[in-house]
Every structure is written in C-alpha cells, then in structure tokens.
Chains A and B, each alone.
Chain A
Amino acid sequence: MNVSVQPQRTPAENALVEAFAERVASLPGDPSVMLRRDAAIEAIKAGLPTRRIESWHYTDFRRLLAKVPPHDPTAVAAVIAPLVAGSTVLSILNGVSARAPAAFSGVTVRRLEEMLLDGSFAAALEAQGDDDAVGAINAAFAADGYFLDVAAGAAPEAPIEVQNVQAGGQTHVRLPVRVGDGAKVTLVERQTGSGAALVSSISHLDIGEGAEVRWLIVQDQPEDATHLGQFNARLGKDSKLTLFFLNTGGKLVRQEIRVVAAGEGSSFTLRGVNLLAGDSHTDVTMVLDHAVPATVSTEVVRNVVTGRARGVFQGRINVFQVAQKTDAKMACNTLLLSDDGEFSAKPELEIFADDVACGHGATVTEIDRNHLFYLMARGIDEKTARGLLVKAFVAEVIEELDDEALVEPLEAMLDAWFAEHG
C-alpha cells in the first residue's frame, strides 16, 4: 500500500471506507478474521497505489478507480452455461456461493463463508506486501467463495468450473484450492456478470508432488465493471501448472499472477490473451519465482488492441541463487489495430544463479502486409483477411492448450469478440 500521506481521499477511497463501516457488522468472520479485515481497511485508508508505486507504475490505480458502487444484496445473478459442456459447476452468484458442501470424484468442496466464520481462513487474508491493493480490498470485504480439496491421485474427468457471476454492486470472493500429490485436474475460473460492479477475486493454488493442473481464467466482464483478480500458486516437486487467461471485457482490469516454482522439477506454462477494446484499461502483472533448482517456465502473452484501449503486461521472473538449471522464457506480443490504442510491456529478469537459460522478448506489430496480400490474392476481401490474421495471432496461443474441448469454446469467444470489435 502507498504509505505516503494523501492530502485527501478520492471518492473511490471514501466509498470503500464507508462501505466497510456499513457492512462490517454483517461480514462473516471470527475475531482473527475481523482483525485482518481491520488491517486491510487501514491500508486502504492510507491511500490506493499511484504510479509512484513500482508495481502500479502503468496502472495509476488511485486515479483509474473512479467509481465504487454500493453492495446490493438484493441483486440477482444467474448460473451461466459452462465453458465446457459436462463440467462440474460451482457458482458464486452476487458474491454468495450457491452450492452446499459436496464431494465428487475425489474433490471435497467447502463454502468459504464457513472458513471465515470458524477463523481457519484468517491467515490467508494477510496482505502480500505493502503494494497489495487487490489483496487489501478483497481481505476487507471477502464474504464467500469455495475451498476445493483435490485428493492425492484424484483425476476428475470433467473440468471443474467456478463461476463468479456478479449482478452489479460489489463482489469479493476467495478461491483456495489444494491439489494432492499425483492428482490431475482442470479448473475453469469464469469472471463475468451484468453490472457496473467492483469485483475482486483471489485464488490460492497449492499443487502437490507430481500433480498436474490446468487452470483457465476467462474474464468477460461488462464494459463498465472493475475487475481485480489475483492468482497465487505454489508448485510442488515435479508438478506441472498450465495457466491460461483470456481477458475480453471490463473497464478497469488488473489481473495479478504470482507463482512460486517451489519444488524441483516443476514446470509452469503461462499462455494469455488480452482482447482490448473501447476505453478500457487492462493490466496483467506476473511475478514468478524460480526458487529451487531445475524448474522450467514459459510465458506467452498475446494482445490485440483496438479503439482507445490501453494494455499493460508486467512480467517479472526471479531466479533465486540456488535455482541452477532454471529454464525460463517469456514473450509478450501485441497487435495494435488502432492509432489510439496503446500497450506497455515490461519484462524483467532478476537472476541470481549462474547456470540458467533465461530470455524474454516483447514486440508490438501491425498486421503483416505480406500475409494480407497472400490471403487477398486468393479472393478473400480485405476485412475478412484482416479478421483471419488477427484471430490467427491469438488462436495460436489458444491452440497450444491442445484440447478440442477447451480450444473450441475459447475460439468461439474470440469470434464473438471480433464480430463486435473487429
């Protein structure tokens, strides 16, 4: 958090502080949870981060967070069709987990509200550093979510889809997930809704030895919503995590990704697509720690920017001194389709080991004229040809998921976006 003295609170800061005063009596939590909530609101009172805070340099959060709508407990959100037909759906509607505790295919589910009430979740509400504004807003207000516990060796066949559907107002949820040794699971996180909402959603994923996790974050909030996401993961020995994200909506979006490759032989794959239009601001900020020897990571982020949209990718890879034989590669490629759009990429490598293979690259391009000519020379009109090439630019990343069941619906979302903004 920004600790410098702010002369005057912004309307958004005031709204958060006032909302907390109004809601604190009804927020779930034992005394240990409520202490964390108090600490969080104190951090917010000290001021939201500005561009003077390094991790917020390209997203002046204090200035950009213009509106904080009041929480509306009467708003109604409905379950949506899952991304992959046949998924096990766990929905959070207007901030409230809809499904009672259950177990399926080796997965145990608990409503997070219970864990706030009994205090077992208190420690996880602690802020991660003094620039953790997303953590602070969420810790102050988080009221529900799910805890998923995937048993060792479990391999549910169908993806688990957690739907966080907002209906305007405020929605603050948590999604801790523990994956046992050798388990194999696909999790789809949907962030969507229909209102001018302030949404914060924080997940913590703990992956056991040799386990494999695919996690997809699909965010298509309406164009007047603020979406704050934070994904935290810790990789056990020889485990594999593939994280995919697709951002196609929201007015102000900050998606943080914090991954620690904590087990030898673990591997992390990040593939992400930002489709940015209108007057939106979307920031994806990743911090990846290679904390032990012999871990592998690759990160590819593809962005399409049109209208007056602004995008940010900050990717920081820390290779610890003990982390010899680290192999890390990061790329951020942007296709600018309008003169008024912009994208800022800030890749960073901090390497303290001496036997590593690390690299990063960032490009900003326009559509390749040679490719355009080739397609047009086959009779495809310019608009269609451009559409094919733009789609190709991001579809490449999606197709790396190498699973028709996931690729097809994601590409359908691309098509829908291009139909509206292409």
Chain B
Amino acid sequence: MLEIRNLHARIADDGTEIIRGLNLTVRDGEVAAIMGPNGSGKSTLSYVLAGREDYEVTEGDILYNGHSILEMDPAERAAAGIFLAFQYPMEIPGVATMEFLKTALNAQRKARGEEPLKIPDFLKRVKQAAGSLSMDMAMLKRPLNVGFSGGEKKRAEILQMKLLEPKLCVLDETDSGLDIDALKIVADGVNSLRAPDRSVVVITHYQRLLDFIVPDTVHVLYKGQVIKSGDKSLALELEKHGYAGFIAEAA
C-alpha cells in the first residue's frame, strides 16, 4: 500500500528540515501507529503524505501502490484514495457542509470515471454515516466545521472518511481533544472501515487511542526518522517507560 523510502522533507518557506531519512512500509489492510514526542515530525509526515505545498520533499520517495505520488497535487492524491483526517480541521465560513460533502464525493467519483451520485442516494449515505457516528444532521446544515466543538470536528472528519471510502487513511492526532465517549465513537468509526484492501496510519501522542484502534504495527518517530518498529506491545512499553529509553538506544 504505502512505502516511504529515505524521505527528506523541509519547510518550503525557511528550509528547516523536519523529515530526515524516514523509511516506513505499510501493507494492505495494516493499521500502523506512528508515535513520537512533540516535534518529532508526526504532523509534517501527515501533511507531506497529503501533498501540502508548504513542505518540500528534497530526497527519497513516497510510493502508493507502487507509484510515486510526489508529483500529484492534494486533490489528485485524495482522488487516488489517500485521506488525511486533520488534527485541526479548518473552519470555512460560507461553505455549506452538505454542499462541500457532495462536491468532494462527486469530484472523487469523477476522477475515477464514475457517475455523480443522485441526491437521494447521497443523502442516504450521509444520514447513515452520521447516524453511526451519533452526529445530528442539523450540524451538517451549518457552514463547514464552523461553530463545531473540537470533538464534533473530529467526528466530522471521520464522517468524511466514511463517505469518501479512501484506501489509505492517515489520522493525525485524531484523539486530541476528545473525551472518552467521543473517542470510542471515533474509534468505532475507524474500526468499521478496517478492510483487507484498506490501510490506516494512526498518528498519536498517547497509547490511549490504541486501546480502541488496535494497531498491527507501531513505529517510533524521532527527529524525522523511524527509530524503532514493533508490534502493539511496543506502544504499551512506550506508555510505561516513555520515549527516553528508545531515543538513547537509537543515539
């Protein structure tokens, strides 16, 4: 599904290198957790995967199903099946949530050579997805993310993910700002999407989310590199002993 080879990336504006030789492979159907202390490059990795132009890849490659995506813009990557659930979803006044969902869904269908959805089919899908996330349809009548609480925004991200049915889901600190009930609802949403042909990259600071979305692999990110990989027990170890031991080991 995803193969990152010796990736180097920097902030386009000032040239600060954030990702420094990162290697990572995520197989079809795998749920990979990326953990690391603040400033290790977790969010940057998610933005680089989604194609944000504020970051520049200077070396290495990102292969998605065997093909480099570096030349693709964010919309092309999304249409190809890559989805980033934002840590801080944007509030966009004036853009109606439903219109946004319909436009996004149909843009992706069009890029894949599919017919646009008929309105009743679209509404049915939205209702179903919203129901499964305990979201009130009235919320979706508001402008995109405007006035949503932190938890509502995260739910809205998962709602979009469910509707768009991506193949590679990247969740950037989806657990931040969620209380335990909301965390469970969001985790259920993600788990319901687990499939042999769909992979999930869960970026998180804490073990807590991984109690609900149980990963197949866990990778420790530090100073822009994966310094340790293992199975889910690695996350528990991190929770108990912190990052210091691994960092010392890698140094």
Residues of A in contact with B (beta carbons under 8 Å apart)? 369-371, 373-382, 384-385, 388-389, 391-396, 399
Contacts and interface: CB of A to CB of B under 8 A. Distances in A.
Nearest to B105: A379
Contact of B74 (A373, A391, A395): A373
5 contacts: A377-B86, A379-B79, A380-B103, A392-B93, A392-B143
Contacts of A381: 75, 107
Given A379-B108, A382-B75, A392-B95, 12 more contacts: A371-B90, A373-B52, A375-B104, A376-B51, A377-B52, A377-B86, A379-B78, A382-B73, A388-B100, A388-B103, A392-B143, A399-B94
Q: Which of B50, B78, B84, B143 has the most CB of A within 10 A?
A: B78
Q: Which of B89, B104, B108 has the most CB of A within 10 A?
A: B104
B44 interface: no
A377 B78 contact: yes
B197 interface: no
B89 A374 contact: yes
A146 B46 CA distance: 63
B93 A396 contact: yes
A93 B31 CA distance: 69
Nearest to B85: A377
Contacts, number: 77
B94 A370 contact: no
A389 B107 contact: no
A371 B94 CA distance: 12
Contacts of B108: 378-379
Given A379-B111, A380-B103, A382-B73, A374 B93 contact: no
A380 B94 contact: no
A380 B95 CA distance: 13
A394 B93 CA distance: 10
B104 A380 contact: yes
Shortest Cβ-Cβ A-B pairs, 9 listed: A392-B94, A379-B78, A376-B74, A378-B104, A379-B108, A396-B94, A374-B90, A376-B75, A392-B95
Contacts of A385: 75
A377 B78 CA distance: 6
B107 A377 contact: no
Contacts of A389: 92, 95
A369 to B, nearest CB: 8
